[in-house]
Amino acid sequence: MKDRNKGHNFFHYLITVFVFLVKGILGEFVWFFVAASGYLIYKTRVTPYDMIIGVPLMLIGIGLIVNFVWSELLAVFSWKYNKEVCVICMQDEDMNE
Ligand SMILES: [Zn+2]
């Protein structure tokens, strides 16, 4: 492979988008449950600790969901970001070190 650094192409783009969407959906799923359980803990309010535990869980969960969604949007709509996080290009770079 000669043009390894300039080799980012539409095929790479599709693979990267696919990887990000799969990882993103899995991550959003996991963090949705974290946020949801935080909300349930917060809602019960049996002890004062329920708020201390529940609110941060919700905030972390929502924050990470937003983060995953943002990464997915960038991977789909930004060619530059897609290139930077490209799984195939990164592997090629590792092999050259
Ligand atoms: Zn690439």
For 19-39, the pLDDT digits (tens) are 999 999 999 999 999 999 999
Q: Compute the distance from residue 28 Cα to the ligand 1 centre, in Å.
A: 25
pLDDT in tens, 35-94: 999 999 999 988 989 999 999 999 999 999 999 999 999 999 999 999 999 999 988 776
pLDDT of residue 91: 83
Is residue 8 exposed (0-12), middle (13-18) or buried (19+ Cβ within 10 Å)? buried
Domain boundaries, the chain: 10-96
| 68 C-alpha to ligand 1 centroid (Å) | 20
Per-residue pLDDT, 35: 98
Q: Compute the distance from residue 31 Cα to the ligand 1 centre, in Å.
A: 28
CA 73–ligand 1 middle distance (angstroms): 17
Q: Which residues contact 92 (CB under 8 A, 6 or more apart)?
A: 1, 4, 7
